[in-house]
Structure 1
Amino acid sequence: MVVDGDTLTIDGERIRLWGVDAPEQDQTCRRHGQDYRCGEVASQALREWIGQSAVSCVEVEKDQYGRSVARCAVDGQDIGAWMVSQGLALDYRRYSAGVYARDEASARAAARGLHAGTFEPAWAWRAARRNDRPEQAPPQPACAIKGNINAKGARYYHAPGMRSYARTRIDETAGERWFCSEAEARAAGWVSAPGRS
């Protein structure tokens, strides 16, 4: 049921916890002079805390990948609040408007979890990795059109030579894909990215 520190699967549906951002699975942090896999620690702590308890969720919105973003609870306790108060996730102020800011301040003051050492917020860690990725090669040379889903869920295709082609990355696990022609992309529901030149 726990995918990672801010994602659950319930009845086969992937649910992103609203308003919090936990370290990524392969992210490392540092405490007591040692690196440790803080993403794995967050996931395991959430798994143990939930145990066999029933989880209830109320959807707030859909994310750019079509996943449900929800506030979830165990025995009436908000999972996001628990994760942040334990120092296992951060208040994702970009989306939460600071709902979990007090929980984060409490964890920081008590040096719980991430706050017991040094770490990079998961949102900054992901951005740095995106910027460091080498150019992607299509699975087949003739199929070099990138079908990308933006942060608002819009589906754009990027053909070689288009302004944003080189910096566009395809994440097939998020529903993005490669196309062999613009006609194929349009037939699948993608539209040409703004600014073709």
Structure 2
Amino acid sequence: MQGRPFRGRFGAVLAILILAACALLVDRLTPAEAPVSGRARISDGDSFHLGDERIRLLGIDAPELDQICADAGGQSWTCGRTARDKLVALVAGKAPLCQPDGHDRFGRILATCSVNGRDLGAQMVEAGLAISSDDYGGEETDARNAKRGLWVGTFDSPRAWRDRHGREAETNPGWDWLPRF
């Protein structure tokens, strides 16, 4: 028994605690990714390019570029293009500062970005032109209660819209007018 300290339930629990402590230590010692900044080329309401880097705003999901929504009277409006135009206006020639937090399955940098100290994701959700998928629940509640943007009428969640329209809808950067080679 002396040479086998990880035997039985106690040993299993001890081994799990040691592994968890090691994982926590590695996480704490891994340096955060360096912030990125630059001139933005807006793709849609929640993604853009900074130079060669593709950025996806963390914590929000905006309508896809070709997505259509309905207003209170049932009239269609181009909510995807409106969301893109809002992000263009928020950036307005300034250089967003983005703190990366990993990558998505398409290789885009997931980041929290700001312009002049104002969080772009929070502003998109406050305007009602993106839904919160993470940390912007208060902003979403405010937009919903004030019936701003998407909340003025009816809409499919961007995820549901993408599911119905296929993967191309999520990866199309809005350059569909260019010839394909």
TM (norm. structure 2) is 0.68
Letter in 1 for 2:129: L
> Which of 16, 28, 37 is the matching residue for 2:68?
28
Q: Which residue of 1 aligns with 2:101?
A: 60
Q: Which residue of 2 aligns with 1:11?
A: 51
In the TM superposition, residue 170 of structure 1 has moved relative to its aligned partner by 8.6
> Which of 96, 103, 106 is the matching residue for 2:142?
106
> The residue matched to 2:160 in structure 1 has which SS?
helix
Q: Which residue of 2 aligns with 1:76?
A: 117
In the TM superposition, residue 3 of structure 1 has moved relative to its aligned partner by 0.7
Alpha-carbon distance in structure 2 between the residues aligned to 1:70 and 1:49 = 16
In the TM superposition, residue 45 of structure 1 has moved relative to its aligned partner by 1.2
Q: What pairs up with 1:161-176 in 2 under 5 angstroms?
A: none
1:123 and 2:159 correspond: yes
List 4+ stretches of structure 1 deviating above 6 A.
Answer: none
Letter in 1 for 2:89: E
TM (norm. structure 1) is 0.62
1:86 and 2:127 correspond: yes
In the TM superposition, residue 127 of structure 1 has moved relative to its aligned partner by 1.2
Give unpaired runs (5+ residues) of structure 1: 131-168, 175-197
What RMSD over aligned residues (CA atoms) do the two structures have, in Å? 1.8
Alpha-carbon distance in structure 2 between the residues aligned to 1:64 and 1:77 = 27
C-alpha distance 4-170 of structure 1, shift in aligned 2 (>3 A): closer
In the TM superposition, residue 12 of structure 1 has moved relative to its aligned partner by 2.1
Q: Deviations over 1:86-124 (max 9, x none)?
A: 0000001xxx2xx10000000000000111111011011
Q: Which residue of 2 aligns with 1:39?
A: 80
Alpha-carbon distance in structure 1 between the residues aligned to 2:149 and 2:168 = 33
Give unpaired runs (5+ residues) of structure 2: 1-40, 173-181
> The residue matched to 1:58 in structure 2 has which SS?
strand
Alpha-carbon distance in structure 2 between the residues aligned to 1:28 and 1:67 = 25
Name whichever structure is richer in strand by fraction. Answer: 1
Letter in 1 for 2:98: C
| Structure number, greater radius of gyration | 2
Letter in 1 for 2:54: R
> The residue matched to 1:61 in structure 2 has which SS?
strand
In the TM superposition, residue 128 of structure 1 has moved relative to its aligned partner by 2.1
